[in-house]
Chain A
Amino acid sequence: AQSVTQLGSHVSVSEGALVLLRCNYSSSVPPYLFWYVQYPNQGLQLLLKYTSAATLVKGINDFEAEFKKSETSFHLTKPSAHMSDAAEYFCAVRGLGGGGNKLTFGTGTQLKVEL
């Protein structure tokens, strides 16, 4: 069965500090990987996605993620956190193990940005 693990349900950083949100997946074949963000009282918004092209993927709001096959990871980073980045972040995979088009999500990481 396919799965996604997000380490750390809550992450707190200072404004201006590096943001690192971890995501690991299980798969025997290269997956498609996504990061979504949910701001308070809003729906899920796509931040970026990996679709087997470049392993370093750049997304909106200066976020980026690197696909590392050897580590089965797709960690999300941002060089400098802003207060507006406070939200919940979800890693998701698709197309694993004959799962079709459905997305399999991690449990989410709540990011808190402090002054």
Chain B
Amino acid sequence: EAGVTQFPSHSVIEKGQTVTLRCDPISGHDNLYWYRRVMGKEIKFLLHFVKESKQDESGMPNNRFLAERTGGTYSTLKVQPAELEDSGVYFCASSQEGFSQETQYFGPGTRLLVL
């Protein structure tokens, strides 16, 4: 069974540009999460989808970030326009049922560098 996949693995862009990150969850997982780790800091929650609906987006830093989940399958996270402080590693995770004790399976992350 394929795990969570993320694309691209790395992205280097200039301040003011737009970047779109993609996440494909494990097949059959209704719950999809985005997290971010800024260099030297902890991994922080961004938002949670249940199928195509946003269940919790309390961690989204500002309106430059837009997350979508088309048809409840893959998800995209767009940053527009990118700022220097957006640099970091963006992780996607998925789980089947969404219970608190359930394991979230993480992808390898996208390393974003904004110059």
A interface with B by C-beta (< 8 Å): 4, 32, 34, 36, 41-46, 49, 51-52, 90, 92, 94-95, 100-108
Q: A36-B106, A43-B107, A95-B100 are in contact. Are A103 and B45 (CB under 8 A)?
A: yes
A and B contact pairs by CB, cutoff 8 A, 29 listed: A34-B103, A42-B108, A43-B3, A43-B91, A43-B107, A43-B108, A44-B43, A44-B93, A45-B106, A46-B103, A46-B105, A49-B103, A51-B101, A52-B101, A92-B43, A94-B100, A95-B101, A100-B48, A100-B55, A100-B56, A101-B95, A101-B99, A102-B48, A102-B58, A103-B33, A103-B104, A104-B45, A105-B44, A108-B43
Which range holds the interface residue count of chain B?
Answer: 20 to 34
Determine whether the beta carbon of A101 is less than 8 Å from that of B31.
yes
Determine whether the beta carbon of B56 is less than 8 Å from that of A101.
yes
Determine whether the beta carbon of B91 is less than 8 Å from that of A107.
no
Determine whether the beta carbon of A102 is less than 8 Å from that of B106.
no
Q: Which residue of B lies closest to A105 (CB)?
A: B43
Residue among A44, A52, A106 making CB contact with B91, cutoff 8 Å: A44
Determine whether the beta carbon of B91 is less than 8 Å from that of A101.
no
Chain B 43-79, CB-CB to A under 8 Å as 1, else 0, gives 1110010000001101100000000000000000000
